[in-house]
Amino acid sequence: MVRAGLTAERVTVAGAELADDVGLDHVTMSQVARRLGVKDASLYTHVRGLEDLRGRIALLAADEKTIRIAEATAGRAGKDALVAFANAWREYAHQHPGRYMATQTPIQIDPELAAEAPGPRRAVELTYSMLRGYGLAEPDLTDAVRLLRSTFHGFVALEAAGGFAHERSPQQSWIRALDALHTLLEHWPPFREGDSS
């Protein structure tokens, strides 16, 4: 019997494809094995188990998303960069819903594995450098990064969950949201004493 040539990476990719096809929580060891033409027990040589696989899918997605964003924002600045960044984010989520959802799982990824995945760290760096043009300084910079990430993620998550039932197209709201965020970054409110919880 010829070997299938499995790898942790090949198993992860198969899981990611399956996640995009049938939804993340229908990704099972058995299905992934079937897709690879292998018995489920064979996967455990390459992957610790289902949780580990999901963690690997999440890291794969983070890396891929980061690469897309880096390509999209290369050579751009200001609002151009903001829009390119945001659109790359959203398009990745649309194209790879299962992978994207994997990134939302409460943190339980093998730290050793996460350490060698450049995606998450690089994503934050990209966001910071995209904001360079707006002239923000710490801690406002961190706050702005978090606000942007929250809005981008929240929008696509609500979109995916069917949260935008109103007749107005999400696309239009998205464009306006980016407009709004741009002007917000240009007029970032100064910190004032006495702000309460």
Establish if 116 lies at the interface with a copy of itself (CB under 8 A): no
Cα–Cα–Cα angle for 63, 85, 94, nearest 5°? 65
Which of the choices DNA, a copy of itself, none does residue 39 contact, using the CB cut-off of 5 to 8 A by kind?
DNA
157 binds a copy of itself (CB under 8 A): yes
Binding residue count for DNA, defined by CB under 7 A: 21
- According to the binding rule CB under 7 A, does residue 45 interact with DNA? yes
Q: Find the binder of a copy of itself among 34, 70, 105, 136 (CB under 8 A).
A: 105
Residue 108 within binding range of DNA, rule CB under 7 A: no
Distance of CA 50 to the CA centre of its chain: 20
Interface pick for DNA out of 9, 21, 22, 30 (rule CB under 7 A): 30
CA angle 147–195–197, rounded 5-degree value:
70
Q: DSSP for 93-158?
A: HHH-HHHHHHTTSPS---HHHHHT--HHHHHHHHHHHHGGGGT--TTHHHHHHHHHHHHHHHHHHH
Residue where the block lists tokens 């696989």 = 53
Nearer to a copy of itself, 122 or 149 (CB): 149
Name the binder of 95 from DNA, a copy of itself, none, CB < 5-8 A by kind: none
CA dist 36 and 55 (Å) reads 19
The C-alpha atoms of residue 58 and residue 109 are separated, in whole angstroms, by 9
82: CB partners within 8 A, 6+ apart:
130, 178, 181, 182, 185
State yes or no: residue 51 binds DNA (CB under 7 A): yes
d(CA 35, CA 96): 18
Per CB under 7 A, the segment of 37-45, 88-96, 152-160, 185-193 that binds DNA is 37-45
Binding site for a copy of itself (CB under 8 A): 23, 25, 83, 87, 97, 103-107, 124, 139-140, 142-144, 146-147, 149-155, 157-158, 160-164, 166, 168, 170-173, 175-177, 179-180, 182-184, 187-189, 191, 195-197
Binding site for DNA (CB under 7 A): 1-6, 28-31, 38-42, 44-46, 49-51
